[in-house]
Amino acid sequence: MKAGVPASSGQDHARGDAGAQLGDEAYRALYENSPDGVLFTIPDGRVLAANPAACQILGRSEAEIRALGRQGLADPSDERWAQMLGERERSGHVRGVARMLRGDGAAVEVEMSARTFREGSGFERSCTIIRDVTERVAMERALRESRARLAEAERVAQIGSWEWDIGTDTVRWSDGLFDIYGIAADEFDPTRDGGERRVHPEDRARVSEAIQRALGERSELAIEYRVVRADGRLRVLRSRGEVVVDETGSPIRFVGIVQDVTEARLAQEALQGASSDLERRANELQRLTLGRGLESGARSYAPLTARQLEILRLVAEGLTSSQIAQQLFVTEATVKWHVKQILAKTASSNRAEAVARVLGVPAE
What is the pLDDT tens value at each position of the chain, 364 positions in all?
444 555 544 444 444 444 445 567 888 888 899 999 999 988 888 999 999 999 999 999 999 999 999 889 999 999 888 888 888 778 878 889 999 999 999 999 999 898 888 766 667 888 899 999 999 988 888 888 877 776 677 676 678 888 999 999 999 988 888 888 888 888 888 899 988 888 999 999 999 999 999 999 888 899 999 998 888 888 899 999 999 988 888 999 999 989 888 876 766 655 666 656 666 666 666 666 555 554 554 445 678 888 888 899 899 989 999 999 888 877 888 889 889 989 988 888 899 988 888 887 665 5
Residues 182, 120 share a domain: no
Rg (CA), the chain: 40
Q: Which of 127, 57, 47, 54 is nearest to 94 (CA)?
A: 127
Name the residue range of residue 166's domain.
Answer: 139-260
pTM greater than 0.85 (yes/no)? no
Residues 322, 279 share a domain: yes
Per DSSP, the three-state class of 252 is: strand
For residue 194, tell me if it sits in a domain. Answer: yes
Domain closes at, from 260, 293, 318: 260
For residue 1, tell me if it sits in a domain. Answer: no
> Within 13 Å of residue 321, how many CA atoms lie on the same side as its CB?
11
Backbone angles phi, psi at 266, to 5 degrees: -65, -40
Burial (CB count within 10 angstroms: exposed 0-12, middle 13-18, buried 19+), residue 252: middle
Which residue type is seen at 141? R
Backbone angles phi, psi at 242, to 5 degrees: -140, 140
For residue 17, tell me if it sits in a domain. Answer: yes
Residues 326, 253 share a domain: no
Which residue type is seen at 4? G
For residue 89, tell me if it sits in a domain. Answer: yes
Q: What is the dihedral of CA 281, 285, 290, 293, to 10 degrees?
A: 180
How many folded domains does the chain comprise? 3
For residue 6, tell me if it sits in a domain. Answer: no
Residues 120, 21 share a domain: yes
Residues 29, 116 share a domain: yes
Residues 124, 65 share a domain: yes
Give the integer Cα–Cα distance in Å for 281 and 303: 13
Cα–Cα–Cα angle for 165, 260, 268, rounded to 5 degrees: 140
CB atoms within 10 A of CB 208: 14
Domain closes at, from 132, 147, 182: 132
For residue 182, tell me if it sits in a domain. Answer: yes
